Amino acid sequence: MKVTVLGAGSWGTVMARMLGQKHKAVTLWVRSPELKEKIALRRENSDYLPNVILPETVSFTSDIREAAAQAKYIVIATPSHAVRQTVRQIADVVEPDTIIVSAAKGLETDSLKRMSEVIASEIPLQAGNIAVLSGPNHAEEVGVQYPTTSVVAAVSREVAEAVQDLFLLPYFRVYTNPDIAGVELGGALKNIIALGAGVAEGLGFGDNSKAALMTRGLAEISRLGVAMNATPATFAGLSGLGDLIVTCTSRHSRNRRAGLLLAQGKSLVQVEAETKMVVEGIRATLAAYRLARLHGVEMPITEQIYLILYEGKSPHDAVFDLMMRSRTHEAEEVVINNYWNNW
């Protein structure tokens, strides 16, 4: 059984290592031929995930079509903005019964599609043969085999459980969830709140501020998710609350680090120039801002992050405007729909 991972960033590299610990034929596609040769020589991706050695079961290629051909499972671990271009290159060599696993956390800014929708629009697969893997999974910690949990979502239970079995390891526990929309939206939207967490930290605020930001951030993530047919309970799970906590608080979080730079007054161009790897929250903010308007959903934190990133608003002014919004209830929908007459 051939298993292929497309993308050799930190997450793609560590997934190739995990899969190589369990399966005998794993291929890692490395876009750069120079980096491919470097990884093959040392069996280590020192550019993105140093000190993590890849097992002999993992082979390397820079030929994406060779990597995808005859693969039973293809794991897509590229940045979200590259997913469409990536799957378009392999569409005619993928077998109809191949299972594609999206590990990219983002939204396409032009179409506003989730990654599974992008994949489905480019590759003709059997119904249900797309799964999504998400959760609080920093590659740096998975690489040293700290106990980690994740969730796989798919329309087909059979596919979800097959991918669950593909990844299960003593240090990597995988759960299943039928709510593919909720799992994808949680993984994409939490990056926006993590940008805000970095801004709050950079402005010198404390734990109260970060707790408030995360809690109210989860509320607006859930609000948009429900408007897009996700299940509310999903956002209390690993791809929602779990990923939100780790991305807002971890020293490994690129989005949090980008928020720290924003708090220093750096522009979007400067932030992107100073960050080695892709900061998914930047594009996710633009997509979520547009989705909120499209669905008529109030997302005040997302709106302020959008204004900081794309319209040059001062982080201090953004905080002031968030705190001085007109009064409201904590659980607006619950109060208005169920309890108002009793107050």
* Amino acid at the residue 85: Q
**Torsion-angle region of 192 (φ positive above 0: left; ψ -120 to 50: alpha; else: beta):** alpha
Residue positions counted in the chain: 343
Number of H helices, E strands in the chain: 16, 10
Task: Supply the Cα-derived Rg of the chain in whole angstroms.
Answer: 20
Instruction: Tell me whether the CATH fold assigned to 3-178 matches the one assigned to 181-342.
Output: no
Tell me phi and psi for residue 101, to 5 degrees.
-110, 120
Average pLDDT, the chain: 94
**CA-closest candidate to residue 7, choices 28, 23, 25:** 28
Three-class SS state of 307: helix
CA distances from 4 to 71, 182, 184 (A): 6, 26, 21
Residue 288: pLDDT band with limits 50, 70, 90: very high
Q: Which residues contact 218 (CB under 8 A, 6 or more apart)?
A: 193, 235, 240, 241, 244
> Does residue 340 have a pLDDT over 80?
no
Q: Residue 122 and residue 74: Cα distance in Å, rounded?
A: 14
> Does residue 128 have a pLDDT over 60?
yes
- Say how many C-beta atoms besides its own lie within 10 A of residue 8's C-beta: 25
Q: 159, 133 in Cβ contact below 8 A? A: no
Residue 7: pLDDT band with limits 50, 70, 90: very high
Mean per-residue pLDDT, 230-253: 96
| Whole-number percent of the chain with pLDDT over 90 | 91
Q: Residue 116 and residue 183: Cα distance in Å, rounded?
A: 11
**CA-closest candidate to residue 240, choices 281, 190, 297:** 190
Token code pair at residue 5: 């991972």
pLDDT of res. 335: 45
pLDDT of res. 310: 96
Token code pair at residue 238: 């690993």
> Does residue 341 have a pLDDT over 60?
no
**CA-closest candidate to residue 184, choices 106, 243, 121, 236:** 106
Assigned fold of 181-342: N-(1-d-carboxylethyl)-l-norvaline Dehydrogenase; domain 2 (1.10.1040)
Query: Of 105, 190, 210, 313, which residue is the catalytic one?
Result: 190
CATH number belonging to domain 3-178: 3.40.50.720
Token code pair at residue 245: 């906590």
**Each residue's pLDDT tens digit, 130-183:** 999 999 999 999 999 999 999 999 999 999 999 999 999 999 999 999 999 999
121, containing H or E segment: helix 115-122
CA 231 to the chain's CA centroid? 18
Q: Residue 44 and residue 51: Cα distance in Å, rounded?
A: 7
What is the residue extent of each domain of the chain? 3-178, 181-342
pLDDT of res. 106: 96
CA 72 to the chain's CA centroid? 23
**Each residue's pLDDT tens digit, 36-92:** 999 999 999 999 999 999 999 999 999 999 999 999 999 999 999 999 999 999 999
Q: 134, 186 in Cβ contact below 8 A? A: yes
**Each residue's pLDDT tens digit, 103-115:** 999 999 999 999 9
Mean per-residue pLDDT, 287-294: 98
**CA-closest candidate to residue 77, choices 106, 49, 103, 48:** 103
Question: Would you call 2 a catalytic residue per the annotation?
Answer: no
